[in-house]
Structure 1
Amino acid sequence: MQKATPLFLVLVLAATAAFLSFSPNTNSPGNQESLNTKTTTSKEESQLTANQSGKADKSSAYPKPWPQEKSDIPADPKAVFGKLDNGFRYIIYPNSEPPSRVSLRLHIASGSLMEADDQQGLAHFMEHMVFNGSKHYAAEDLIPKMQRLGIAFGAHANAYTSFDETVYMLDLPELSKDTLDLGFNVLRDFGDGALLQEKEIDNERGVILSEKMSRDSIGYRLMQKQYDLMLPDSLISKRFPIGSSDVIKNAKRERFTDYYNRYYVPDRMTFVVVGDIDPAEMEKRIKDSFSSMTNPDNAGADPDLGPIHSPEGLKASVFTDDELTATEISLTSIRPYEAKADTKENRIEELPLALANAIVSRRFQRITQQENSPIVSGSASRGVIFNYAELGSIDVTAANDDWQAAVPVMEQEFRRAKEYGFTEAELAEVKANILNAYEQAVKREPTRKSDALASALAGSVNDASVFSTPQTNLDIVREGLKNVSLESVHQAFTDFWNTSGYHLVLTTKTAPEGTDKQLAAAFEESRGKPVEAPETRKTVEFGYTDFGKPGKIVSRNEIEDLGITQLVLSNQIRVNLKKTDFETNRIRLLARIGTGQLSQPADTPMFDAFATAVFEGGGLGKHSNDELQEILAGKNVSSGLSIGEDAFNLAGSTTPKDLQLELRLMAATLTDPGYRKEGLWQFQKAVPMIFQQLKHTPSGPQQEMNAWMYGNDFRYTVPSAEKLNTYTIDQVKDWLNPQLTKGYMELTIVGDFDMDTLLPELLATFGALPTRDATPPALDDRRKIEFANAPARKLFTYESKVPQGIATTIWKTDGIRGNQPEFRRLNILASIYGDRLREEIREKLGASYSPSAGASGSDAMDDVGYVIGQSIAKPEDVDRLLDTMLQLADKLSTEGATQDELDRALKPVIGQLKKSLRDNGYWLGTVMSQCQLQPERLDLARNRDEDYNSIKLADINALAKKYLGSGNALLVGIKPQE
């Protein structure tokens, strides 16, 4: 079940999650041979503990007992829980996916809430400072030492600070003694070995202020105002993790050491180790590394968060800013919360309300699909903030900023649920979805990734929730769902909202004086109108089961060394298959069809985005999207179209059990798209929000920069809103239908399937489709791009009161097509350039929080590639940073890199290569998706590791000299208009 989150809680989480010390590794923003190893947290992984938001007991005593000691829920028996004599806790979890790797987390139960008034921001500042000099590592040595062992700065070494926790994360690429020693030594130093030297503190002040600036936005500023409204007397509204600029600029070293010595203490620490390890060996390492830590006599205490005041009656409030992207209305109830232990009873107790909120959210979703709907989105939700405040929220986003029309929709759907409850069909749908999510978590347990598990364990520490097995979670949910009824779900919703005190909050662009009274009056007027019971909806069966006479396999080629089977079907569809055990109970599919943007009608900028929205929002001929959600509830199928530079991509994901349905769904998507007007309506409602964002954020000038860089080719430009609104569904049909029904197709399937089961279903669906083109048209004239002439310097602006600038340096290179070996080396060169940006602009100048560099290129267009560097900065610093970035590149071009720089850039990449071989995404997207059209891709995969290992310093320096000279540079500044 997709669980909605209250808008106010979304703001809390945004404030919490924003403050990472390091940005992700962005060395390959457009690399078609990317390793595709980025881990994302799936819905199933997020439910590893089945702990509903905030449902755990967080006592103030440290060290805390393990949650399972106060629960009837057993902890996962694979996890080893322990505590040293000094109170330092640890969790060890053996896990072999991926092999020969280990993930470490150091959780510290302290965040910005523990700061004194004159320490605001120092919890987050401390997260930076531990990297800037410690007992065993000088400030300038730590990151290079990690890089030499294959630990990439940002990708494998990261951290975050929240209101109530700080977490350090290290993902080690191998298990050698040197690597493990560094991992344990670093995290021990973070715990009590930071030097906090005044020079380093002063150097880092600019970095923190730059980060504060880079996180700034109109939404963030309004979030702070909403905190003050909802929690005016709470410490939470006064302790945002980024802190006070005045404190960041002026805090004395003593205020840092005071916080560090009182809160970075073993009683508040939990160490997590997950990976391909021996628990006994790890336990000994933990004891050897952390037993000597001591707790101070004056250890810090948890703060009093202050009182919570619910309003009497309806309290209407209005927040305005002309740069807002959308108009939102929230009805919120907030009250004190009493924490409870994580038990079966308490988990089950929360299910009915969660189901009710899911149903109300679905009702809002249906309304958004109606013609002239007053809302763009809506949801109902409940959440808990730090086991301190409980809140419920009904949220809607108004179409065309018309809040007067949206308020009655919100109020009446809220009241309809309270008065009439729900239908059997609605309840069956959400029950099926939540049960399926937990069932899939059980089936995918054997191949859970260590980094996701480590983060989930750290999360359970902060939540004080039992880290139980997926099977235990499923058993509890099954027990809870067995006793759920329409009456109990309705009762849970009415009980939760049995309060007379509400906040009604409007955020919009402009509002005259007295709008708060008008808002309240609109709500009260709606209350006086009767609502009817919800309609009873008929259940419908999936209407696509017969696609005609099954096709045949006319050619089969086994590529044994790569484990790939290539088929050609009788209708000329090419199929690539690879059975793997990398993700249990999961199968990924990708059909590349036709020619994509190469065939986009002339002079139709953003028509690809319009076509995608219309196609995706239009459902199928026999079923609307709303019907499909009902039909497919509890199933594991998906089908989504995207439009690439040279192909239409239809992607899906499924399980062995639902493979037949998945193939039918994808075949139906190709043969009978619905083109209903719902997709058009929803896109048209989004257009004003798109252009508001382009006008008032850096995304607008970034789009202008891309258009300029690509010679203003219409495929990379943004049209006027007026032109965008002239596009029609018939135009989409004229473009897509010939491509989707006749265009060259290569279907790739990777994952946990049985070949004997798959082939008959494949032939009955895709094999039964009409004959298609045997090859795609060349369209050579559409592959040519006139890249901007260098050298050049440009400035692009946007309208905003938020002082945020971006400095960008670009050097054109050859593209990827037929040039993969050079492009691999360009990635390494860009990494070296990015590291020099970090050292100079972040570490020495303190002028930008996260300067980065990467290499990008097109696999479809001729001779289109570039190396790019970017730094977010104060607007007044943009020109200075452009000059600095150019000087750094020019020096790299003329003097070359060093062998140490090459080693530090290359070693993390080499570490990722082995990991990628057990990544279905790498095989699906990089190796196989067009390996019959371009058979050379198989050789590129075969020689990839050898080629990377053969990279020499001379290769890198030759490319630096070839491309990175100042005479080849495009310099782009982005600033708010003055």
Structure 2
Amino acid sequence: MKKSLLVLCVLGISTALIPTFAQDLHTQKIPLDPTVKTGKLKNGITYYIKKNAEPKNRAELRLIVKAGSVLETDAQQGLAHFMEHMNFNGTTNFPKNELVNFLQKTGVRFGADLNAYTGFDETVYMLPIPTDSSGLLEKGLQVLDDWAHGALLDPAEIEKERGVVLEESRMGRGAQQRMRDKYLKMILNNSRYAERLPIGKDSILKTFKPESIKAFYKDWYRPDLMAVVAVGDFDVAKVEAIIAQKFGKIPAVIKPKTRTEYTIPLNGGTDVAIVTDSEYPQNVIQLIYKQPSTKEKSMFDIRNNIAQGLYNAMMGQRMQELTQKANPPFLYGASNYSDFLGNLDSYTSIALAKDPSSVETALTALLEENARVQKFGFTAPELERAKKDLMNQMEQSLKEKDKTKSANYVQEYLDNFLHQKPYMGIEAYYAFLQKNIGGIKLEEINALAKKYITDKNRAVVIMGPEKGKDALPTEAKIRTMLSQTNSDLKAYVDDVLDSPLLKAEPKAGKVISEKADEKLGITELVLSNGVKVLLKPTDFKNDEILIQATGKGGYSLFPGERETGIMTSYMLQSGGVGPYNQTQLQKFLAGKTVGVEPYLNELKEGVEGSTNPKDLETTLQLIYAYFTEPRKDAEVVGGMLANQKSYLENMRKTLTPDKVYSDTLNAVLTSNNPDRRPLTPESIDKVSLDRGIEIYKNRFADASDFVFTFVGAFKVDAIKPLLEKYIGGLPSTDRDDTYKHPNIFPPKGRIEKTVYKGLEPKSRVTIVISGEYDYNPENNIQIEALQEVLQIKLIEALREEESGVYGVRVSEDVDKLPTGHYRFNIGFGCAPENVDKLVSRTLTEMKKIKDNGADPKDIEKFVAETKRKTEVALKTNGFWINYIDENTFLGDDLNEVLEEDKLLKSITVPSTKAAANKYFSDENFIKVILMPEKK
């Protein structure tokens, strides 16, 4: 028997289902993207280098170490992750915290940009770096080189970092962790993976000797287990030379320790775990079919992956349709085949049931949908739509090949090094797809269901609240359900409709005025129905157009109807539009890049959209339909609301510490205003679909107060006829509307409150300082600077010096409407015994800024970070669509973004001192603390 046929038999797929020409693909090697420069240094380090100018003057650097927690000895549990931390706490060229300090001065943000993660099998360090300043790229590669072999592992720094890592461990505790600990060994078949969670064991983290972590670093941070990735706007030859010069000096290990490839054994049976917890509020079902993983070694494997993707797409559509029925069996459901862990893949079905008594219904739905595909297969129209969608996605990727961000590429090379996954490049992949997708037949896809869904190597995990334990199905019941097949199971009915999206062609309007802002590149059109259109053509993407349409009013104009107002958008989207229900609409749009979502919130209503030049007209038709032909589907909405009510009832029965804390904080900050209370089951009882439709039609009946913004790949003159027809044809009553702002802001005075909830020894702290505010660009930039310098100082103080937190977050918010208000939020988690000390230290750091102003080095960091962030943002459609829409709604000057350099120069030590004294007020001070329940 030929090897190719043997492989097919092992996979459980009949070779008769595979065309002969496709079977021959097994002899064809997968071509790797020729634009990627790869190599291996003499010491064993692998490198990947690719020139990519998006974003301009930036590079993405990665150091990949093929070593994670699975390699730890019993005495080292948690030290792979601890080692990752230590690489930020002192290396040969960057002692102590100089690494973070240096990078922040270049505009790289700690956490947001500079980061790392530790997994079971790998540790990955991430560094985005500017390339437009002399020596910065080389300095960035020096950082990677230091991480690779220059960690100092100073015992004093290790002692300081213990507290930080222990706090990270503390923040991960809770219901999820407790339940995971109960079922993890089962689904991982008592393998090494089940014993080596990356966070490790607190007992070891507290007591390990420095020699233990130094041993891990010496054994596993070595050239033959490392790869360097560099993608960005640079000279490839120069980067290759730097890598060779720096990393080539690392000596090869003479007798390396064997790097064991751990596996997860398959036991052939079915495992069932039913786990509950008093603090877990949801009801989750996981149905896992484990299988040996397959490696992509030939073009035949690439073809198999395409078939797998088509299967996943069709199954995903069916699962989504179940949530769109009149009586949905679950709140959310999904099924797909993907990587699992280690040497395994899995076909996994997941559902979120509305309450414990519905878990059996949800599990039945998962089993029946899988059985339906096994028994009847998919339909030809389903496959055709899935193929259209895939071809459209890949066509778009091909068009954007020179506008793809560098960060998107690095994952491909990481997967190649760690998992031997090939990186073909979009041109080769698209060409292969075009040639081969037509040959992937329905019978072949349907055969995958029999491969994926078997009675071997299964695991079922049911998670729910302790209070609902008696309503959950027993293990015996679950096993019975798995063994039985519904004899009444019927084939899937493909609900499709082929009708015009619009009943009648709109009566087109005209452009009655046009003016251009050359500085901003924005053209303003006013149409005959009063609609204002702002157009910003860009070349940031080749095949993307973003749309925002905003009108003033929202559900604030309907006092006493908040609940219906909040749910109106969901109810209308659930109904579909025009002649199409929600399911039919998704199928109608197959193969098109059309995304349109109407929304209604408290102060405004509008539409958000995304498309490309080819599908712009269809998108505008859909926008017109949402304005003029919203569709009512009482059965679907009734099912959605019933599920939502049950879910909220269940959440109320199991109040988690985080839920109680956030609700308390919300009540304090809003003075328990009914217009800010979280939704409850009683809220759902107040929702009326008929009234929701009336509110929606009222808000969308007059387009004259809407501002439409278009940003992306178009020419103004070319899209004018479409705008006149579909936007100019919208209804207009020329009413003068605005919103009724509720004016709900944090109360004045000092408020301190402590919430006692939770089993774990962990606390949360939130400090809010607020007050009235003169909203203008000059003050706004001072507030932003104050937020950043305080964030820097609190990370240094609470994390690096006190070792009392894993992270601390400082955020600021300024409001212009209805009058100016500002708000600072400071939040962190910590040990209960450290709350008072860390709050005191926080206030001390704030007082230092009030007394002395910001540290000049911190101002330098803020200015650098802001400039770098803005440089990149200004070259994205997403920034401009939101900036234009938000500033227009607020009535702010659109030229403000062009004044940033001037505004940044106003940030000085005296200005930050004045701002701190003005905004770090003791008068309006709120502190809410979460403490564990008293024993």
Partner of residue 520, structure 1: 478
Partner of residue 954, structure 1: 910
2-side partners of 1:525 and 1:469: how far apart? Answer: 44
Change (3 A) 1:160 1:623: same
| Paired letter, 1:440 | Q
Which of 735, 753, 760 is equivalent to 2:695?
Answer: 735
Could you tell me whether the CA contact under 8 Å between 1:810 and 1:866 is conserved in 2? yes
- Superposition deviation, residue 717 in structure 1: 2.0
Question: How does 1:910-949 map onto structure 2 within 5 Å?
Answer: 910-929=867-886, 931=888, 936-949=892-905
Where structure 2 has 5 or more consecutive residues not aligned to the other structure, the ranges are 1-10, 12-26
Which of 501, 504, 528 is equivalent to 1:570?
Answer: 528
Question: Does residue 428 of the first structure (1) align with residue 380 of the second (2)?
Answer: no
1-side partners of 2:827 and 2:140: how far apart? Answer: 30
Count of aligned pairs between the two proteins: 903
- Superposition deviation, residue 501 in structure 1: 4.8
Which of 341, 344, 349 is equivalent to 1:394?
Answer: 349
Which of 147, 152, 157 is equivalent to 1:190?
Answer: 147
1-side partners of 2:843 and 2:915: how far apart? Answer: 16
1:10-39 Cα offsets, whole Å, 9 max, x none, are xxxxxxxxxxxxxxxxxxxxxxxxxxxxxx
1-side partners of 2:564 and 2:385: how far apart? Answer: 35
Partner of residue 501, structure 2: 543
1:407-442 Cα offsets, whole Å, 9 max, x none, are 332222222211111211222222222222211111
| Paired letter, 2:726 | T
Could you tell me whether the CA contact under 8 Å between 2:785 and 2:907 is conserved in 1? no
Which of 754, 779, 782 is equivalent to 1:822?
Answer: 779
Question: How does 1:798-813 map onto structure 2 within 5 Å?
Answer: 798=757, 800-813=758-771
Could you tell me whether the CA contact under 8 Å between 2:373 and 2:446 is conserved in 1? yes
Question: Does residue 142 of the first structure (1) align with residue 108 of the second (2)?
Answer: no
Which of 160, 177, 183 is equivalent to 1:203?
Answer: 160
- Superposition deviation, residue 457 in structure 1: 2.9
Which of 423, 444, 468 is equivalent to 1:467?
Answer: 423
Partner of residue 593, structure 1: 551
Say what the alpha-carbon RMSD is for the aligned residues: 2.5
Question: Does residue 789 of the first structure (1) align with residue 748 of the second (2)?
Answer: yes
Question: How does 1:299-378 map onto structure 2 within 5 Å?
Answer: 299-306=256-263, 308-312=265-269, 314-337=270-293, 339-378=294-333
Partner of residue 696, structure 1: 656
Partner of residue 127, structure 1: 84
- Superposition deviation, residue 162 in structure 1: 1.0
Question: Does residue 612 of the first structure (1) align with residue 573 of the second (2)?
Answer: no
Question: Does residue 653 of the first structure (1) align with residue 613 of the second (2)?
Answer: no
- Superposition deviation, residue 895 in structure 1: 2.9
What SS does structure 2 have at the residue aligned with 1:384? strand
- Superposition deviation, residue 771 in structure 1: 1.5
What SS does structure 1 have at the residue aligned with 2:541? coil
1-side partners of 2:199 and 2:564: how far apart? Answer: 40
Partner of residue 457, structure 1: 413
1-side partners of 2:816 and 2:480: how far apart? Answer: 55
1:47-68 Cα offsets, whole Å, 9 max, x none, are xxxxxxx9xxxxxxxxxxxxxx
Which of 619, 635, 638 is equivalent to 1:662?
Answer: 619
1-side partners of 2:153 and 2:606: how far apart? Answer: 52
2-side partners of 1:85 and 1:271: how far apart? Answer: 14
Which of 208, 217, 225 is equivalent to 1:260?
Answer: 217
- Superposition deviation, residue 522 in structure 1: 5.0
Which of 700, 721, 733 is equivalent to 1:760?
Answer: 721
| Bigger mean CA deviation after superposition, 397-406 or 525-534 | 525-534
What SS does structure 1 have at the residue aligned with 2:694? helix
| Paired letter, 1:105 | R
1:335-391 Cα offsets, whole Å, 9 max, x none, are 444x43442111212333443343233223222222232222222222233451232
Question: Does residue 671 of the first structure (1) align with residue 628 of the second (2)?
Answer: yes
2-side partners of 1:542 and 1:77: how far apart? Answer: 45
Change (3 A) 1:708 1:238: same
Change (3 A) 1:899 1:645: farther
- Superposition deviation, residue 603 in structure 1: 4.3
- Superposition deviation, residue 294 in structure 1: 1.4
What SS does structure 1 have at the residue aligned with 2:286? strand
1:526-556 Cα offsets, whole Å, 9 max, x none, are 5253312222544423422744210101111
| Paired letter, 1:99 | K
Question: Does residue 751 of the first structure (1) align with residue 712 of the second (2)?
Answer: yes
- Superposition deviation, residue 483 in structure 1: 1.4
What SS does structure 2 have at the residue aligned with 1:446? coil
| Bigger mean CA deviation after superposition, 868-877 or 125-134 | 868-877
Partner of residue 490, structure 2: 532
Partner of residue 58, structure 1: none
What SS does structure 2 have at the residue aligned with 1:835? helix
1-side partners of 2:685 and 2:536: how far apart? Answer: 43
- Superposition deviation, residue 801 in structure 1: 2.8
- Superposition deviation, residue 403 in structure 1: 1.9
2-side partners of 1:377 and 1:170: how far apart? Answer: 36
2-side partners of 1:524 and 1:898: how far apart? Answer: 64
| Bigger mean CA deviation after superposition, 502-511 or 848-857 | 502-511
Change (3 A) 1:655 1:514: closer
- Superposition deviation, residue 916 in structure 1: 1.8
2-side partners of 1:772 and 1:289: how far apart? Answer: 69
Where structure 1 has 5 or more consecutive residues not aligned to the other structure, the ranges are 1-53, 55-69
| Paired letter, 1:351 | I
Change (3 A) 1:504 1:710: closer
Could you tell me whether the CA contact under 8 Å between 1:605 and 1:719 is conserved in 2? no
2-side partners of 1:976 and 1:937: how far apart? Answer: 48
Change (3 A) 1:922 1:773: farther
Could you tell me whether the CA contact under 8 Å between 1:105 and 1:167 is conserved in 2? yes
What SS does structure 1 have at the residue aligned with 2:402? helix
1:821-867 Cα offsets, whole Å, 9 max, x none, are 21121111111111111011111111110112121123434222211
Could you tell me whether the CA contact under 8 Å between 2:565 and 2:695 is conserved in 1? no
What SS does structure 2 have at the residue aligned with 1:133? coil
Question: Does residue 555 of the first structure (1) align with residue 555 of the second (2)?
Answer: no
Which of 162, 170, 176 is equivalent to 2:127?
Answer: 170
2-side partners of 1:227 and 1:82: how far apart? Answer: 39
Identity %: 26
Could you tell me whether the CA contact under 8 Å between 1:310 and 1:333 is conserved in 2? no
2-side partners of 1:914 and 1:351: how far apart? Answer: 38
Change (3 A) 1:689 1:311: farther
TM-score by length of 2: 0.92
Change (3 A) 1:720 1:252: same
Partner of residue 927, structure 2: 971
- Superposition deviation, residue 655 in structure 1: 0.6
Could you tell me whether the CA contact under 8 Å between 2:753 and 2:929 is conserved in 1? yes
Partner of residue 463, structure 2: 507
1-side partners of 2:534 and 2:50: how far apart? Answer: 36
1-side partners of 2:47 and 2:295: how far apart? Answer: 23
What SS does structure 2 have at the residue aligned with 1:669? helix
Partner of residue 628, structure 1: 585
| Paired letter, 1:811 | I
What SS does structure 2 have at the residue aligned with 1:535? coil
- Superposition deviation, residue 934 in structure 1: 5.7
- Superposition deviation, residue 762 in structure 1: 1.2
| Paired letter, 2:519 | D
- Superposition deviation, residue 332 in structure 1: 2.4
